[in-house]
């Protein structure tokens, strides 16, 4: 069973479907121009991506000749279908992340994790920890949770901060744009009509070695050449009271104009206990395990098997994340001594914070639907075939270029998926999954000053702009290139 996204399931060349009144070359030029308008509106005019995508869709539809009524209808269908398909997943992920944070469960997990690892293996342990924490969480909230542990570990062990921070950042950056259930990867899965379980399985195969190369190995190189910031200049990671003694508090949230969002820490009440590391890990990884079970069932069980049907249901992303949220209510919420009301408040506090992400992703679906209506996807597919450029390389390259220009991985994935979806027509399920991963890998390329994540990392590490380019920007480039190369290598054997 493939991810069911209404706007992405529409045949690209259906009989009677509207097409642009202009020729192929003119349509390509018009499409590039409209994308450039969106980029300029976001990167230069500092317009919110939601408005930029709406205006870009209107400009494309009207100027291509498909008509105002068709433009409005297709954009509304694309927005509504995308929100109904992906919005629930984003909301459930936000609720789970808020409860993980509010219960103090992640804090205890990372303390136990670092205490059990020898100092020489600490960069690897931090990278692995960030990988686990980042699986269900947005980049910003995962960074807020992991970074104090990184600094605290550096203080206790004397290991240079960059040696520990780079592995954590590599894992978090990669997961945010590369693996479901994060919003961008989910959108790519729907756009290419890929099987989510297969995408997740292949993504994990590529992500682990990518996190190693872009994490501990790159950290060794950077820390030997770039001085780490003075730990005394950092507020994070100082010794503080345990969660049982800590009073109410919060951390600031950050909003990414390119489509990412940071989840603020929900208010924390005084608690008598914090869930153990095993309980926390089990809760965090339940959705991922259920989706992996589904992926395995799809590969080894016949379609008419009753067991496979059960696995298909429990491994459906919305069901898997819902199961994780329900389990977290008992293991992390009630298990930490929070009342039912406080559990509900903590989980509900995540919903307003992801409204912007849901709407941006929805508007991206509307823009994609408008692109489909013009027929530009078929033109691009024909041109790509004539160039002889491999589809996976093209997917990575287009996503990387848009990411550099806009600064948003989400907008990069949305636009690239809309343009290249026709290339996936007739591909096997495995290669559709690889197309989604190639786009995700490209969307991580070269974070710089138009990306809010760039500034967040700069402030957290107390770096100057030049050093941030030498560390964070280089890290993102390495992660993107290695992941893209891994996807292409994997395509040779699946």
**CB 86, CB 186: distance < 8 Å:** yes
What is the enclosing helix (H) or strand (E) of 201?
helix 196-212
The per-residue pLDDT of the chain, averaged, comes to 80
* Torsion sign across C-alpha atoms 90, 349, 334, 97: positive
Tokens read off for 319: 């069901």
Q: How far apart are CA 34 and CA 30, in angstroms?
A: 6
SS3 at position 304 = coil
- Whole-number pLDDT of residue 18: 60
Q: Which of 209, 263, 311 is nearest to 100 (CA)?
A: 263
Least confident of 42-56, 241-255, 447-461, 466-480: 241-255
- Rounded to an integer, what distance in angstroms lies between the CA atom of residue 8 and that of residue 180? 17
What's the 3-state SS for 352-379? HHHHHHHHHHHHHHHHHHHHHHHCHHHH
| Residue 188, helix vs strand vs coil | helix
Q: What is the pLDDT of residue 269?
A: 43
Length of the chain equals 494
Closest CA relative to residue 177, chosen from 374, 406, 348 = 406
**Residue-by-residue DSSP string for 438-486:** HHHHHTTS---TT-HHHHHHHHHHT--HHHHIIIIIHHHHHHHHHHHHH
Query: Residue 440 is encoded by which pair of tokens?
Result: 């995700």
Q: Residue 101: what pLDDT? A: 74
Residue 187 has pLDDT above 50, yes or no: yes
The predicted structure's pLDDT at residue 116: 84
Closest CA to 332 of 376, 381, 291, 271: 271
Question: Bigger pLDDT: 441 or 417?
Answer: 441
Give the per-residue pLDDT at 218: 96
Question: Comparing 93-97, 144-148, 198-202, which segment has the lowest mean pLDDT?
Answer: 144-148
pLDDT at 326 over 90: yes
**Residue 380's pLDDT band (boundaries 50, 70, 90)?**
low
Mean pLDDT, residues 23-30 taken together: 84
Tens digits of residue pLDDT in 480-489: 999 999 999 9
Ranges 29-33, 86-90, 99-103, 248-252: which has the least confidence: 248-252
- Residue 369 or 485, more confident: 485
Per-range mean pLDDT, top range of 4-18, 137-151, 333-347, 477-491 = 477-491
Position 252 confidence tier, pLDDT thresholds 50, 70, 90 = very low
Q: What angle do CA 469, 471, 472 make, to 5 degrees?
A: 75
* C-alpha to C-alpha distances, 181 to 23, 91, 262, 316, nearest whole angstrom: 39, 11, 16, 11
> Does residue 53 contact residue 367 with C-beta atoms inside 8 Å?
yes
Examine the pLDDT at 264 and tell me if it is beyond 70: no
pLDDT in tens, 335-363: 888 888 999 998 998 888 778 878 887 88
Q: What is the pLDDT of residue 110?
A: 64
Q: Tens digit of pLDDT for each residue in 47-66?
A: 888 898 899 999 989 998 88
Q: Of the ranges 108-117, 248-257, 440-449, which one carries the lowest mean pLDDT score?
A: 248-257
pLDDT digits (tens, 9 = 90+) for 79-124: 888 788 778 877 887 788 788 778 878 667 767 776 788 888 999 9
pLDDT digits (tens, 9 = 90+) for 304-322: 889 999 998 998 878 888 9
């Amino acid at each position: 069973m493939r991810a069911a996204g209404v706007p992405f399931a529409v045949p690209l060349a259906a009989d009677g479907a509207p097409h642009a009144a202009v020729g192929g070359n003119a349509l390509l030029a018009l499409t590039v121009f409209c994308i450039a308008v969106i980029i300029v509106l976001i990167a230069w005019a500092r317009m919110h991506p939601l408005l930029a995508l709406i205006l870009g869709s209107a400009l494309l539809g009207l100027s291509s000749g498909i008509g105002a009524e068709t433009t409005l209808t297709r954009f509304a269908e694309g927005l509504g279908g995308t929100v109904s398909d992906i919005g629930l997943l984003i909301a459930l992920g936000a609720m789970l992340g808020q409860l993980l944070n509010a219960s103090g469960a992640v804090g205890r997990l990372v303390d136990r994790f670092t205490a059990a690892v020898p100092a020489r293996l600490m960069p690897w342990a931090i990278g692995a920890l960030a990988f686990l924490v980042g699986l269900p969480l947005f980049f910003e909230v995962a960074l807020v949770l992991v970074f104090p542990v990184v600094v605290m570990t550096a203080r206790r062990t004397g290991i240079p901060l960059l040696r520990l921070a780079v592995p954590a950042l590599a894992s978090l950056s990669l997961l945010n744009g590369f693996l479901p259930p994060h919003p961008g990867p989910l959108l790519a899965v729907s756009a290419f009509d890929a099987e989510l379980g297969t995408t997740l399985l292949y993504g994990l195969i590529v992500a682990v070695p990518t996190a190693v190369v872009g994490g501990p190995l790159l950290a060794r190189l950077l820390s030997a050449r770039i001085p780490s910031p003075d730990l005394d200049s950092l507020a994070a990671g100082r010794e503080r009271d345990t969660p049982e003694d800590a009073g109410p508090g919060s951390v600031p949230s950050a909003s990414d104009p390119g489509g990412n969002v940071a989840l603020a820490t929900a208010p924390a009440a005084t608690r008598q206990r914090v869930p153990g590391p095993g309980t926390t890990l089990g809760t965090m990884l339940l959705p991922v395990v259920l989706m992996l079970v589904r992926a395995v069932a799809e590969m080894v069980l016949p379609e008419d098997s009753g067991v496979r049907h059960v696995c298909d249901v429990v491994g459906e992303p919305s069901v898997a994340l819902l199961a994780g949220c329900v389990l977290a209510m008992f293991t992390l919420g009630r298990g930490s001594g929070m009342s039912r009301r406080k559990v509900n408040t903590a989980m509900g506090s995540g919903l307003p914070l992801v409204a912007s992400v849901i709407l941006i992703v929805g508007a991206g679906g509307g823009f994609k639907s408008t692109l489909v209506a013009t027929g530009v996807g078929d033109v691009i597919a024909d041109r790509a075939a004539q160039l002889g450029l491999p589809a996976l390389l093209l997917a990575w390259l287009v996503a990387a270029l848009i990411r550099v220009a806009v600064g948003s991985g989400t907008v990069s994935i949305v636009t690239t998926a809309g343009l290249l979806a026709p290339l996936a027509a007739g591909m096997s399920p495995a290669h559709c999954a690889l197309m989604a991963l190639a786009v995700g890998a490209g969307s991580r390329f070269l974070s710089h000053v138009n990306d809010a994540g760039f500034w967040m990392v700069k402030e957290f590490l107390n770096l100057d702009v030049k050093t941030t380019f030498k560390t964070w920007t280089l890290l993102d480039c390495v992660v993107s290139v290695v992941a893209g190369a891994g996807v292409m290598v994997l395509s040779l054997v699946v």
